Amino acid sequence: MDGDGGCPQASATAARPLFDRLSDGWQARAQVRIHVLGAGTPFEPDRPDFVESLLPFARHPRYRAASPELRAATLSCGWLLFNQKQVELERCIVIPACLELLRGRLPGGSDLKAQKVLSEALTDESYHILLTEHASEVTRRQRGLGAIELPTCRVVREFEAEQARHADAGRRNLLLLAAAIVTEVFICGFLRSLSEADAIQPLHVRVTRTHLADELTHACVFRSIMTSGYHEMTLAERDAFALALALAMRWLAAPEIDTWAAVLRQLGFAYVDDIVGETPWRSPTPDYAPLLRICNELGLSSIRERLARVVL
């Protein structure tokens, strides 16, 4: 499948057969119906828990000079942060958006066929939280990291701060919808970075691949919701939605600087300020192409200009 999730573009009228096809395959495809938590995948203590090159400061001399034990603990925390970000995106953005769509409070989800696939996606997301938190708990227990406290990821903090700036419920709803769409389209690339990392802990690879298998379909669902919902919006709502999309893209591209600083201090690193201050904090740039293609098809011509203004 390609970076879009391998699904066709769907107009408002084409969404119904697409939703039918996705729903018909859910019982055979959904990972919640296939996998038992951790079954058949033992924890291998000698394997690293995360891909070291994905650490933003992996080449910093202060990090490179740390003991093997401290670097191994840092990799374990990389896995914990990777998991927590998924859980927080789903719990704070995606699941609330699914619930509001099912209640008819967001544009794009009122059709009965859309309601069915959204209900299935909601089931998937709840399982992903269970699966991911189970994997994190195994790592904390095996690595003795139960006391490590992980700050809330930047995406959620930025989203909640922006929500708080708006008293109008309609504006907050459009922001929630945009954030959920961006999250579900881009999370596939986020998961793929570990799903093929065969040198790390096998349990972690399996958990990530399991999650990715569902998210490829969810990206398709939310892109279709976006197409349908956009046709239901007023001109003012479309303008607010375009800004919300650009903001959400910015949040996904932003590095977790203060989050990592807090974790490094808890691990006992010396010179944390040097590591944080001297690291070129560049998150892997998400692939904006799938969303930009939909925006172009919908005539959302301002998105590129808005994106250029708000993306780091």
- What's residue 299's pLDDT? 79
What domains can be seen in the chain, in order of their start residue?
15-33+57-310 (1.10.620.20)
CA dist., res. 222 & res. 10, Å (int): 10
- What's residue 113's pLDDT? 84
Q: Please enumerate, as own/partner, the contacts of 126-129 that have beta carbons within 8 Å and a separation of 24 or more.
A: 126/32, 126/95, 127/31, 127/32, 128/86, 128/87, 128/90, 128/211, 128/214, 129/87, 129/90, 129/91
Burial of 214 (0-12, 13-18, 19+ CB in 10 A): buried
- What's residue 3's pLDDT? 41
- Mean pLDDT per 10-residue segment, the chain (312 residues): 45 58 53 54 90 94 96 98 95 96 91 87 88 92 96 95 94 96 87 90 91 86 90 91 90 90 96 93 67 79 62 44
Q: Which of 57, 71, 49 is nearest to 279 (CA)?
A: 57
Q: Please enumerate, as own/partner, the contacts of 267-273 that have beta carbons within 8 Å and a separation of 24 or more.
A: 267/70, 267/73, 267/74, 267/77, 267/148, 268/70, 269/62, 269/63, 269/66, 269/70, 269/74, 270/62, 271/62
- What's residue 217's pLDDT? 84
Sequence letter at residue 145: L
- What's residue 51's pLDDT? 95
Joined together, the tokens standing for residue 56 give 């933003």
CA dist., res. 189 & res. 207, Å (int): 15
Q: How far is CA 43 from CA 11, 75, 155, 194, in A?
A: 45, 15, 30, 16
CA dist., res. 66 & res. 93, Å (int): 37
